Amino acid sequence: MRRFDVSRAARRACLTLCGPMMVLGAQVAWAQGLSLDQALAAALAQHPDLRASQMESEAAGAATQQAAAWQNPELATLVEDTRRATRSTTIQLNQPVELGGKREARLGVARAAEGAADVEAAVRRAQVGADLRLAFHAAAVAQERVRLSEELARLATQAREGADRRVQAGKVSPVEALKAQVAEAQALSAVAVAQGEQRATVARLRQAMGEPTELATSTKALVVEADLARLPSADRWRPLPLQLSASPLVAQAQQEVSRRQALAEVERARRTPDLTVSLGARRDAEAGRNQAILGVSWVLPLFDRNQGAIVEASRREDKARIDSEALRARIGAQAEQALSQLSSALVQAQTLRERVLPAARQAFAASTRGFELGKFGFLDVLDAQRTLFEAETQALSAAAQAFEADAHLHALLGEPTPTKD
């Protein structure tokens, strides 16, 4: 008898009943702003990949239930002679009996497949969560770039107005006003480009949340609530070997080894032929009596002892074990590279925020004020503005790289495992 998993049934029931309400509540909150937790809740509740993995898990559970079933008996009847006086009628019940542990081996394969379905669901959850994090922070960075470009456009407009006033006062050449107009036009063009990028990232975010196609491609504005100054920590992914041991991808490879081991046990069990036990009765009309029938049949393993299938299953088991070791090494190398990228991005972001950006803002403010007082030329203002824009862009790029590396680690390792101090 298959054991009924109450906790799993409760989770599925909660997902079925509470999922639509969670999504509805999240959509109401989106009018005020979408947080990362709300986006993750929506993705876990409605993403088609996760719904598909749930169906696969339920199918694997049904397969386990089927694998536990016993073989059905066979009812046979035989009539000898068509004349009533000399007719004999036999009724016989044949029951196959599996030997060699075939049923246990078959159950082992089914349970391994059920475990593989559960691990596959964990892999998909990790991938969906990683894609969601990547899309969410990409949308947040794009949103911040729009704000930054609009702020720079506003500053360019102020500089152009200041240049116009100085030209009208006869303090500078009209060429300075033309330069200011070109700078303003470039800044306004950058705003349009940033807004286009933001719309694209919002569409990717809606798709990552598992929204239907007609909603995922909607041009409706979506405000993302994210604190880009709060970057992910690299310490929570250390020590890396501990995080690697809890990786869903590594667990999936190990589960494939277990499944291959179970399949090899099935082939070994098939070496032993099954018995068929027969029980019945025979009515002899001519003799006027009933006769009991007892019989046992057994296939003689003279020519086929399943040797080829056993060797094949054993080699596939060895291959799965080698593939698991190779996958673990590959994921470890990729995780090490992603962690290095995260650490580098964090150092770069900290340097830009603590040293470069304050100096760039101060230089731009001083040059703008000095231009209004006639101490600097407009080229100095443009140079300071360009420096500030580049510093702000580099800071956003560093933050984006940090979030991207963190999302890659989530895809490879799943949620970080807490470590004891």
Distance (Å, rounded) from C-alpha 241 to C-alpha 335? 10
R_g over Cα of the chain: 36
Domain region containing 401: 6-413
What predicted TM-score, i.e. pTM, was given to this entire model?
0.79
Using 50 as the pLDDT threshold, list the residues of the chain that sit under it: 1-31, 216-217, 219
Distance (Å, rounded) from C-alpha 246 to C-alpha 260? 21
Distance (Å, rounded) from C-alpha 397 to C-alpha 50? 31
* Strand order across the 88-97 sheet: 74-80, 88-97, 275-284, 289-298
Distance (Å, rounded) from C-alpha 26 to C-alpha 7? 26
Name the token pair of 235: 């310490």
Residue 258 lies in a domain: yes
> In this predicted structure, what is the pLDDT of residue 367?
85
Count how many domains the chain has. Answer: 1
Dihedral angle sign, alpha carbons of residues 384, 386, 390, 392: positive
Nearest Cα neighbor of 98 from 65, 68, 127, 64 is 68
DSSP reduced 3-state for 281: strand
β-partners of residue 278 are 94, 295
> In this predicted structure, what is the pLDDT of residue 6?
34
Distance (Å, rounded) from C-alpha 122 to C-alpha 117? 9
Residue 150 makes CB contacts below 8 A (sequence gap 6+) with 191
> In this predicted structure, what is the pLDDT of residue 279?
94
Residue 286 lies in a domain: yes
Residue 1 lies in a domain: no
Query: What are phi and psi for residue 86, nearest 5 degrees?
Result: -110, 15
Checking DSSP bridges between strand 275-284 and strand 289-298, what pairing results, if any? antiparallel
Report the C-alpha dihedral over residues 76, 81, 87, 93, rounded to 10 degrees: -10
Within 13 Å of residue 407, how many CA atoms lie on the same side as its CB? 21
Residue 258 makes CB contacts below 8 A (sequence gap 6+) with 112, 115
Enclosing H/E stretch for 17: helix 6-30
Provide the CATH number for the domain around residue 172.
1.20.1600.10
Report the C-alpha dihedral over residues 37, 40, 41, 43, rounded to 10 degrees: 160
> In this predicted structure, what is the pLDDT of residue 14?
41
> In this predicted structure, what is the pLDDT of residue 284?
86
Residue 18 lies in a domain: yes
Rounded to 5°, angle at Cα 88 from 85 and 92: 155
Any alpha helices (H) in 230-306, and if so which ranges?
240-245, 248-269
> In this predicted structure, what is the pLDDT of residue 168?
83
DSSP reduced 3-state for 86: coil
Q: Angle between the 357-372 and 378-413 helix axes, to the nearest 10 degrees?
A: 160
Q: Which string of DSSP letters, residue by residue, matches 100-161?
A: SSHHHHHHHHHHHHHHHHHHHHHHHHHHHHHHHHHHHHHHHHHHHHHHHHHHHHHHHHHHHH
Q: Are 136 and 36 in contact (CB under 8 A)?
A: yes
**Count of CB atoms within 10 A of residue 375's CB?**
11
Residue 420 lies in a domain: no
Distance (Å, rounded) from C-alpha 216 to C-alpha 206? 5
DSSP reduced 3-state for 169: coil
In the block, which residue shows the tokens 């190398």? 333
> In this predicted structure, what is the pLDDT of residue 420?
59
Distances (CA, A) of 142 to 49, 138, 399, 407: 26, 6, 11, 17
Residue 377 lies in a domain: yes
Distance of alpha carbon 244 from the chain centroid:
16
Residue 421 lies in a domain: no
